[in-house]
Structure 1
Amino acid sequence: MREQPPYLRVADLLRQRIEERVWSAGDRLPPRAQLAQEWGVGENVVRRAQELLISHGVLEGRKGSGTYVAEPRERVRMVRSRERELSGGSPFRADMSALGKRGTWESRSDATVPAPAGIAARLGIAEGDPCVRTWYEFLVDDKPVQLSTSWEPYDLTAGTLVMLPEGGPYAGKGVVGRMAEIGVTVTHAIERPEPGEATAQEATFLGVQRGALVTRIERTYYSDKGRAVETADIVVPAALCELVYEVRITP
């Protein structure tokens, strides 16, 4: 019989300590170096074991803080409506504020990234045309609940104060507010939700099990000229979020 890989053995040891209440929900685990020395393995083995348990929802990683025993998570309601876009600022932050929670996000932008074929088609540009790509991890009370990758045509915002969505004086203002600052009026968005399963990478970031049910939303904003000004792929885990679409009826 083949010997169990070291990272699986360490994962079992981690589970055992949690089951024995050595660590309880919300507790921070000791540093990887300490665990590696105790169990006679390398730090990379401990890291891989922790990543496995994060994907299973047993542990959760907090950027810049460490690894913790996962706590039961309350589902948060996310409303998709016209009114949330017209409220000004970040719709996500407004949603969380209405629930009495703190909505924040981590982001990373890259300028002049060549548009893949699918993104180019959604933006109405040529494949390979430069875009500003921004990756987001949305947090509620410092815990991840949603991922998003946004693409904007580089020629639309190049040389302006809103070129980087999370940089400059209009950082965090949202697509509608930022575009208004350069004279572009966003009039509507189209969203296409589809069910899916979390990839290993998504599961690690979100602290859910690999293969957990998610809703993937393909969203594109359009200006009053009919031009697509931004498109995004949004990942919402069903275990953490309740998606609600509000439809206004005008008599």
Structure 2
Amino acid sequence: MPSLDPPYLRIADHLRRRVTAGEWAVGERLPSRAQLAESYGVGANVLQRAQEVLIAEGLLEGRTGSGTYVRVPVERRPLSRSQDPGGFPASAVPGGTWESHTEARTPAPEHVARRLRIEPGELTVHTRFEFLLDGRPVQLADSWEPMAITDGTPVLLPQYAPMRLRGVVARMASLGVRVVRAVERPRPARASAEQATLLGITAGDLVTVVERTYLDDTGRPVETADLVIPDSRWEIGYELPVEAPE
């Protein structure tokens, strides 16, 4: 009985079997899209959609101006989100460092305002982080703090403040704001073109976005961040404390 799958899925399945059978070695470039399309008797657009399926699966990778290659496997490293680092950014990557850029007086986008419980357009302090390992970006983060909390204080700009190496919790504590809780909401996403360029991955690759929000002892959000973690590189784990029965 003929397959009812669209042509691009049938071609993707056949290409998948050819790759896993070793017809092309790891790191080897596949024949051009035009050559493969001709061999399958389809148009270039159908072949492109088939390759995009395998790129999304992590089996192939596209390189701008060069072609499509069998992807070199990357070992996934464990990444624990269980022990809160107090907002200390370098600890987001074990053994890593970070670079950052901060802009004050940034109007809050709607999704940020909702998480900070402020009005859209209210001013925030926005910091973009690139987490580095061996000098290469491996994670990204965008952080927003309500400017009303830190305006006019020495800790307004996280990257320049006297406590820049102490993290969100310590910076807030210096203002008498006691951070007591962090809420994280992981969700799957696809890397944007900008994120892919920074991380050295392919646009559309799987990433995990962790929406993290710090709250003080009154329940007020004092910082929220989107952490972008490439799925191919990090295996996120949580360890939860269990209270023994009395």
When residues 137 and 249 of structure 1 are mapped into structure 2, their CA distance, relative to the original with a 3 A threshold, is: same
Q: What's 1:135 paired with? A: 128
Letter in 2 for 1:247: L
> Does 2:223 correspond to 1:230?
yes
Q: What's 1:79 paired with? A: 80
Please, which runs of 5 or more residues in structure 2 have no aligned partner?
1-26, 30-61
Q: C-alpha displacement at 1:94, in angstroms?
A: 7.5
Please, which runs of 5 or more residues in structure 1 have no aligned partner?
1-17, 21-49, 59-69
When residues 120 and 139 of structure 1 are mapped into structure 2, their CA distance, relative to the original with a 3 A threshold, is: same
Q: Which string of whole-angstrom CA distances, capped at 9 and with x for unpartnered residues, describes residues 118-158 of structure 1? A: 11111111111100000111112212211110000001011
Q: C-alpha displacement at 1:192, in angstroms?
A: 0.9
Q: Which string of whole-angstrom CA distances, capped at 9 and with x for unpartnered residues, describes residues 59-84 of structure 1? A: xxxxxxxxxxx987443322112x33
Give every structure 1 segment of 4 or more consecutive aligned residues whose post-TM-superposition deviation is greater than 4 Å.
Answer: 70-73
2:168 is paired with a residue whose SS is helix
The percent of aligned pairs where both chains have the same amino acid is 46
Name which of 155, 172, 176 aligns with 2:169.
Answer: 176
Letter in 1 for 2:81: R
When residues 133 and 120 of structure 1 are mapped into structure 2, their CA distance, relative to the original with a 3 A threshold, is: same
Q: C-alpha displacement at 1:240, in angstroms?
A: 1.2
Following the alignment from structure 1 to structure 2, what is the Cα–Cα distance between the partners of residues 131 and 107?
16
Q: C-alpha displacement at 1:85, in angstroms?
A: 2.9
Name which of 58, 64, 73 aligns with 1:52.
Answer: 64
Q: Which string of whole-angstrom CA distances, capped at 9 and with x for unpartnered residues, describes residues 6-59 of structure 1? A: xxxxxxxxxxxx969xxxxxxxxxxxxxxxxxxxxxxxxxxxxx98379x899x
TM superposition score normalised by structure 1: 0.66
Instruction: Provide the alpha-carbon RMSD of the alignment.
Output: 2.8
Name which of 80, 90, 93 aligns with 2:91.
Answer: 93
How many positions carry a matched residue from both structures? 186
TM superposition score normalised by structure 2: 0.68
Larger Rg belongs to: 2
**Which structure 2 residues correspond to residues 28-177 of structure 1 after superposition, within 5 A?**
52=64, 73-81=74-82, 83-85=83-85, 90=88, 92-93=90-91, 96=94, 101=95, 103-177=96-170
> Does 2:240 correspond to 1:241?
no
Letter in 1 for 2:161: G
1:178 is paired with a residue whose SS is helix
